[in-house]
Chains A and B, each alone.
Chain A
């Protein structure tokens, strides 16, 4: 297999007295889709946020696309290559949907307005809401907002996409429209790390699943194996609670 595009080695992270990550080591290869699940407070979001250095790590080593995450210069370089989608969308409320997708292209990628706008319109078509280009986030439904957020991240043409519980703040009928966009992305060969409990998505798209608890990786397996034949007691206990 090729070089891993994300490499985490023995990563530790403390929040005050809480030891959120207790030596996590993960490798993600290009075009791989990894779904992370685990109970709340298990460190899954923290792990994701460490990959693009929204959280500084206390110990260990993270290399993204061959760039070690150490100095400030590398961090901005890495962040431009790694798209992130948040649980609460975090759209910029003072900008329209189109401007949300355009802004970072112009500021970070230094693209001309017209080129950036063309890319943005294409991406809004791709996520299925071209008609909402001039709406403000407050005028969009949750599902539409999350799709704009995905378009915003894709506009930077990232090599990796991180999803932090992208559907858990959505009404049930809106979850599908967001998952469909994510499935399309997975089929196109995007490298994705997804924190999510959506079993349907995991079964359809995940190459590998990671189960985390109390800051450590408990089990790694294919979706089939993890759902049907979990090895660890904690995994079994957790799955028995979330599976119907």
Chain B
């Protein structure tokens, strides 16, 4: 207690009393008032989770699955004959440690083999060679990138799983975690999509604060001339349109667009925001996954294949860009007009003033809503399970369908999201505190 430390001061009877009462009830003084809000939440969640996990082993199993553990080894081949196992995928050059896990007819692990260290040289072809039969703690060189390992399994073993064990290699562990499904896929999708949404939002936000009633006469002659050039180009490229009616239509459309060009940024941005904001995120993801991606694949003969992660990231970025552009606009419009005037009066161009004066201040204003959308996006990333990406929710449902334990599965999924969002809240607060100006 601070008052106790001040020399010569009387301890306040009120605090002493309260402390004594607390001690009487609890047996010891718990500094409730100094526990932060998140500490209390973690305490409550911790007690519930701790109790559940200790009394119900399905939780650990579900979390193990959702985190896509283990991160230090990959299963690279399975064999039912229990004698030889080939590595299913081609290995990069390097040294590998393999071992086999023995399974009985219930798929329970009943033992494991000694380790086989193998060195795959540079440029090894993807061919079948003599199997490696002797366990070894030192690398044995093989002349193939898909080696085969053979050994005698003990009695009662009905299948063998070969593992590539990279426990001592931090780089490979990091790569494994980055490409893991479940939690890490959710984190990856959220980070990449939010980065994309921030860029899109900034571009469209800047377009939306541009002049609403622009000077349509600025560079008018130049614009109409460029339009004329475009009309000629179009008619050269599309011979079918070289008849008076079509040519007139092309001319009118192109010149009309060129005429309203100065008004375009605001119009385009408003169109984007209003349309995208009015369509549910789920619809955008399904549209991207099952309409746009197959269409792009077909029209480019499979050259442009966005299936899976790219489609999800594009859909989330595109959807959230609309919200973020409004957040940026609010931030930019909250900066007093005098700031832009002062910057312009020093000779800065509009974009220099934006970059050096307005945006650094606007970003500080919009940090709380940005953090809000970041957390919302983390949760909305669960929607990409509809295009079959195994993120947290999809992993959880997969686990449930295998184990028929819906409560444990969904509780684990909810817990994982809750922990991630709480950590994000803390991170956002930390960034806000770091970015705050003195005296504010």
Contact = CB atoms under 8 A, between A and B. Distances in A.
Interface of A: 52, 54, 76-77, 79-80, 82-84, 86, 88, 90-94, 103-104, 107-108, 136, 138-139, 149, 152-153, 156
B79 interface: no
A152 B321 CA distance: 37
Contact of B437 (A52, A91, A93): A93
B352 interface: yes
Interface of B: 336, 338-339, 341-349, 352, 356-357, 360-361, 364, 437-440
B356 A107 contact: yes
7 contacts: A54-B345, A83-B345, A86-B342, A92-B357, A103-B356, A104-B348, A108-B348
A161 to B, nearest CB: 11
Contact of B438 (A54, A90, A136, A153): A136
Given A86-B342, A138-B438, A94 B361 contact: yes
Given A54-B344, A79-B346, 20 more contacts: A79-B345, A82-B345, A83-B346, A86-B341, A90-B339, A90-B341, A90-B342, A91-B342, A92-B357, A93-B361, A93-B437, A94-B437, A103-B357, A104-B346, A107-B356, A108-B347, A136-B438, A138-B438, A138-B440, A156-B346
Shortest beta-carbon contacts, A-B, top 6: A80-B347, A90-B342, A138-B439, A104-B346, A84-B345, A90-B338
A139 B345 contact: no
B144 to A, nearest CB: 58
Task: Select the residue from B338, B344, B347, B361 with max chain A CB neighbours within 10 A.
Answer: B347
A45 B123 CA distance: 77
Nearest to A78: B347
Nearest to B440: A138
A108 B352 contact: yes
A224 B13 CA distance: 73
Nearest to A92: B357
Contacts of A94: 360-361, 364, 437
Task: Select the residue from A82, A90, A136, A139 with max chain B CB neighbours within 10 A.
Answer: A90
B348 A107 contact: yes
Contacts of A152: 346
Task: Select the residue from B346, B348, B356, B437 with max chain A CB neighbours within 10 A.
Answer: B346
B437 A138 contact: yes
Contacts of A108: 346-348, 352
A104 B347 contact: yes
B347 A76 contact: yes
Contact of A79 (B344, B439, B440): B344
B349 A76 contact: yes
Main secondary structure of the interface of A (DSSP, over half): mixed
A138 B344 CA distance: 22
A133 to B, nearest CB: 14
Nearest to B435: A94
Contacts of A77: 347
A86 to B, nearest CB: 6
Contacts of A79: 344-347
A93 B352 CA distance: 17
Nearest to A107: B352
A93 B439 CA distance: 10
Contacts of A156: 346-347
B439 A139 contact: yes
B37 to A, nearest CB: 28
Contacts of A153: 345-346
Task: Select the residue from A79, A88, A152 with max chain B CB neighbours within 10 A.
Answer: A79
A191 to B, nearest CB: 16
A93 B343 CA distance: 12
A50 to B, nearest CB: 12
A82 B341 CA distance: 13
A136 B346 CA distance: 19
A80 B348 CA distance: 8
Nearest to B438: A136
Contacts of A54: 341, 344-345
Contacts of A88: 338
A86 B336 CA distance: 13
Contacts of B349: 76
A136 B439 contact: yes
Contacts of B364: 94
Contacts of A83: 345-346
Contacts of B343: 92, 104
B112 to A, nearest CB: 60
Contacts of A104: 343, 346-348
Contacts of A90: 336, 338-339, 341-342
Given A79-B344, A156-B347, A92 B352 contact: no
